[in-house]
Amino acid sequence: MSTRFPAHVRVYRSRSGEAAVRSWCERELAACPGLRPLPGIVADGRSTRVHVLDGGPGVPVLVLPGAGLSSATLTGTARLLARDRTVILADLPGEPGLSCPLRPLGGRAAAYGAWLDALLPQVTDRPVVLLGHALGAAAVVSSLPSPLVDRLLLVNPAGLAAPVRDPGRLRATWAWQLSPGGAASARLLRAWGGPAGPGPLAEWMTLVGRHCRTVTVPGLLRGEEYRDWRGVPVTVATGSRDRVLSPALLGGAARRLLDTDVHVVGGAGHLVPHEAPEQVRDLLRGGGG
């Protein structure tokens, strides 16, 4: 069933800003050997850029980035995961990247769930692992169970619990929004409990801060937004230093809503797929495929 929202906002502040973000993404994706695009994908009325990296014999994985992130920030992780399995990367519409630039203003998780329902049969004809990070995880739990879903891996998952209102993170976010630059981006990443040094992710966050509208972490999902995933293996993981959705915060919610415990990734923060790709690979292997 399609879920369309008449109220939306463009993620980019200007056409030139959109061009700058898209150019950065195209450059990073082109630098990933073997990565190929799937052209002409439209899911639930939203143009969607999807890339595939063919890999080992394990169950393929469809990776959905978090809010404010994109497939282009995950190419290093994709290369590692592809040693075991084919990796499919999809940019979420309404987030910075190469998909449709219109972001729904209300019911964001439900909108992304409907989008994922429409996307899945266009990118695979066999079961895949759905790996959702942050907002991507909220999209996963809001989508409909399908024979094309082998299991779920939810990393730093948004929606299971309300984010911690951490004053330090809020101050870092305001500073980044007011004056995005290398120092502000590094401070924001530290406030997420993530990597603080220079690198592609800090460069990306500076680009997003300059050219995109506010990136927000989804709050607590409503009960009706959760689909019935009973019978589907679910793994939930978060970083030991996640200052947005801590292990303690997620533990009870994961048991209550998904009947699973939380795997804690030592030393990582809110950006586990970027900080600890080896542990993500191990979690995928631990699922049996």
Q: Which amino acid is at 53?
A: L
CB 272 within 8 A of CB 155: yes
Pick from 64, 251, 217, 220: nearest CA to 139: 64
According to the model, what pLDDT value does residue 6 have?
A: 46
> What does the block give as tokens for 286?
């631990």
User: Quick check: pTM over 0.75?
Assistant: yes
Q: What is the DSSP letter of 44?
A: T
> What does the block give as tokens for 133?
């990070």
According to the model, what pLDDT value does residue 275 have?
A: 92
Q: What is the pLDDT along the chain (289 residues), one digit of tens a residue?
A: 444 544 688 999 999 999 999 999 999 999 999 999 999 999 999 999 999 999 999 999 999 999 999 999 999 999 999 999 999 999 999 999 999 999 887 777 888 999 999 999 999 999 999 999 999 999 999 999 999 999 999 999 999 988 888 888 889 999 999 999 989 998 999 888 766 555 788 899 999 999 998 766 667 787 767 788 889 999 999 999 998 899 999 999 899 889 999 999 999 999 999 999 999 999 999 865 6
CB 134 within 8 A of CB 66: yes
Contacts of 14 (CB under 8 A, 6+ apart): 211
Pairing of the two strands 149-155 and 8-10: unpaired
CA 68 to chain centre: 8
Distance CA 176, CA 282 (A): 33
Helical residues (DSSP H) of the chain, grouped into ranges = 15-30, 75-81, 108-123, 135-141, 167-178, 182-191, 200-211, 247-258, 272-275, 277-286
Residue 144 CB-density burial (10 A; 0-12 exposed, 13-18 middle, 19+ buried): middle
Distance CA 264, CA 67 (A): 21
